[in-house]
Amino acid sequence: MVITGSKDLKLKYRKLSRLVLDAAGPDIQTACDIEYPFGVNYREVALTRAYKLHCRLVFFGCLPDWKNTSDNPQQVLTDFITKCLDFANSQFMNHIAFPTLGTGALKYPHHVMAKTMKSCIENFNQKHMNYNTRFLQHVTIVIFDKSKDCRVMEN
């Protein structure tokens, strides 16, 4: 499972990360605090056990606001997705789930997010055409009901 939140990895401050904290239990916050005491920067991936969640690992990252052009948010998004895919593959995982990253409070355009996710997944598949090096077989994109992301992903 992949989520984004604040750079300091304080899970209670963002909507999605708060949901993960509530479902996984307080141990996931403790793990973030111990393993990543300085949080994460853009393009970095933090990793913890999933605790009470029904998955093995949780990948954490942070994205800049879409309006923050000095940090090149689309490139940060691309780098983050790519790192998550590559790391999941290196951990012999066969499945990973992404939410529609950045389209909430960070205001990423829905079409940009969809195009970027599609491109990253296609590039991953191209890079790992040899099935001897590809363990990751399934990528799920979780779309919250009634969001604009649903219409964009269908197109």
pLDDT value at residue 151: 52
Question: In 2-143, which residue ranges form alpha helices assigned H by DSSP?
Answer: 15-24, 27-35, 73-90, 110-127
Q: What is the mean pLDDT of residues 118-125?
A: 96
pLDDT exceeds 70 at position 153: no
Beta carbons of 89 and 135 less than 8 angstroms apart: yes
Q: State which amino acid sits at residue 45.
A: V
Distance CA(129)–CA(13), nearest Å, equals: 39
Average pLDDT over residues 129-143: 86
Mean pLDDT of the chain: 91
Architecture of domain 2-154: 3-Layer(aba) Sandwich (3.40)
pLDDT value of residue 143 = 87
pLDDT in tens, 11-68: 999 888 999 999 999 999 999 999 999 999 999 999 999 999 999 999 999 999 999 8
pLDDT digits (tens, 9 = 90+) for 76-89: 999 999 999 999 99
pLDDT value for 69: 85
